């Protein structure tokens, strides 16, 4: 992990510039907002338990964002796992204090759930206040080499089912492999694992063969990726050279199902605040997030765990993206998704 004490000159200058920008914005939002975070503690609720990719991403942000908030509040993470991030999403929408001191990272696959018929999703995604996201994720199907599967063709021709470990609920992690299973591929999903780290452990113990997950899941497991013990077989977007996308492996008529299973992938892992947070505090948090995302110390730390860094998303961009994705949801798509 990158040392935060005595950062290089470029990092110090970047932080000074970012904080200078913060001061300019605060001048327009009022001194009351500027003083609010001094001596306070900011809590970020993580929708999964410790050790998995969502937890790593949340703790990355918690470690860095406080330096860019005037008053430099302490920042802590509280894990509130369950229902694929929905417990955390419900909490931030319905129960969290609306004072700008409680945020949430429910996960990478929760925004669309109320519109897809999930009765335990009790929130309106477009009424939440989006703070920022480190950027779009590329989910990757990583398969154990013992299966003999190393690309789409060998997966399709597998003599016995390739077992994918899945999280509770209908998440991207489970839904995309499940779509392949529904389309007749030799794939089976074993759901109910607590987090992605536990699925990786299950792969090592040979309980399951594969996982479909964000790259950050293997950010600290180069012992598995660099040695070829696990191999990328397909991916969400064409980032890894020579690895097919999930949509390209299926027939044209089946691609909308894969697209829906990918859900909010383009939005990454959004950090959100409850509805009705005071505008000046919301502005502070959004500015701090984007300043943090451009900081060299943050970028180096993020890259060390394979968290995206190249195209961070502002809160406003996430809200616009969510509206666009939601507008494309049809009753037919909801009916197909219900079969997962």
Q: CA Rg, the chain, in Å? A: 20
Residue 242: helix, strand or coil by DSSP?
A: coil
Residue 24's φ and ψ, nearest 5 degrees, are: -65, -40
DSSP state of 161: P
Q: How many CB atoms sit inside 10 A of residue 4's CB?
A: 13
Cα 47 from Cα 49, distance rounded (Å): 7
Domain with CATH 3.40.190.150 in the chain: 9-134+268-338
Taking only the tens of pLDDT, the chain with its 340 residues reads: 223 333 333 344 444 555 555 555 555 444 556 689 999 999 999 999 998 889 999 999 999 999 999 999 999 999 999 888 999 999 999 999 999 999 999 998 899 889 888 889 999 999 999 999 999 888 999 999 999 999 999 999 999 999 999 988 778 889 899 999 999 999 999 998 988 889 999 999 999 999 999 877 887 788 999 999 999 999 998 889 999 999 999 998 888 888 888 878 889 999 999 999 999 999 999 999 999 999 999 999 999 888 889 899 999 999 999 998 888 777 776 777 777 7
DSSP class of residue 247 equals G
Residues of the chain with CATH 3.40.190.10: 139-262
- The model carries a pTM of 0.75
The beta strand positions in the chain, using DSSP E, are 41-46, 74-79, 102-105, 129-133, 139-144, 162-165, 187-190, 210-214, 230-235, 244-245, 271-273, 313-314
- 184-to-105, 156, 161, 187, 188 alpha-carbon distances in Å: 34, 9, 11, 8, 10
Alpha carbon 46 to its chain's center: 11
Residue 319 CA to its chain's centroid (Å): 15
Third-level CATH fold of 9-134+268-338? D-Maltodextrin-Binding Protein; domain 2 (3.40.190)
Residue pointed to by tokens 């899945």? 166
pLDDT of residue 3: 32
Residue (of 337, 2, 301, 8) closest to 175 by Cα position: 337
**What does the block give as tokens for 125?**
């995604």
Pick the CATH number of 139-262 from 3.20.20.100, 3.40.50.2000, 3.40.190.10, 3.20.20.150: 3.40.190.10
């Amino acid at each position: 992990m990158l040392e935060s004490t005595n950062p290089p000159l470029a990092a110090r200058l970047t932080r000074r510039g970012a904080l200078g920008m913060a001061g300019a914005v605060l001048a327009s939002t009022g001194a009351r907002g500027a003083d609010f975070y001094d001596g306070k503690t900011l809590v970020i609720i993580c929708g999964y338990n410790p050790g998995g990719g969502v937890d790593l991403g949340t703790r990355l942000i918690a470690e860095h964002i406080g330096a860019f908030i005037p008053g430099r509040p302490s920042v802590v993470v509280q894990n509130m796992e369950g229902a694929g991030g929905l417990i955390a999403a419900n909490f931030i929408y319905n129960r969290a204090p609306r004072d700008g001191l409680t945020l949430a990272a429910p996960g990478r696959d929760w925004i669309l759930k109320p519109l897809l018929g999930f009765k335990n999703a009790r929130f309106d995604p477009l009424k939440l206040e989006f703070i920022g996201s480190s950027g779009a994720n590329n989910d990757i199907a990583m398969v154990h080499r013992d299966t003999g599967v190393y690309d789409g063709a060998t997966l399709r021709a597998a003599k016995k089912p390739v077992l994918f470990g899945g999280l509770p609920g209908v998440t991207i992690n489970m839904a995309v492999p499940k779509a392949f299973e529904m389309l007749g591929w030799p794939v089976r999903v074993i759901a109910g694992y607590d987090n992605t780290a536990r699925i990786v452990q299950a792969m090592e113990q040979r309980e399951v063969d594969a996982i479909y997950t964000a790259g950050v899941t293997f950010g600290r497991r180069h012992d598995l990726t660099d040695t070829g013990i696990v191999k990328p077989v397909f991916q969400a977007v064409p980032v890894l050279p020579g690895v097919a996308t999930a949509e390209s492996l299926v027939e044209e008529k089946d691609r909308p199902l894969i697209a829906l299973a990918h859900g909010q992938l383009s939005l990454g892992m959004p950090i959100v605040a409850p509805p009705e947070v005071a505008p000046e505090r919301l502005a502070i948090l959004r500015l701090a997030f984007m300043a943090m995302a451009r900081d060299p110390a943050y970028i180096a730390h993020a890259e060390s765990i394979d968290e995206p860094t190249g195209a961070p998303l502002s809160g406003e961009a996430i809200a616009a993206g969510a509206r666009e994705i939601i507008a494309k949801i049809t009753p037919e798509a909801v009916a197909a998704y219900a079969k997962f």
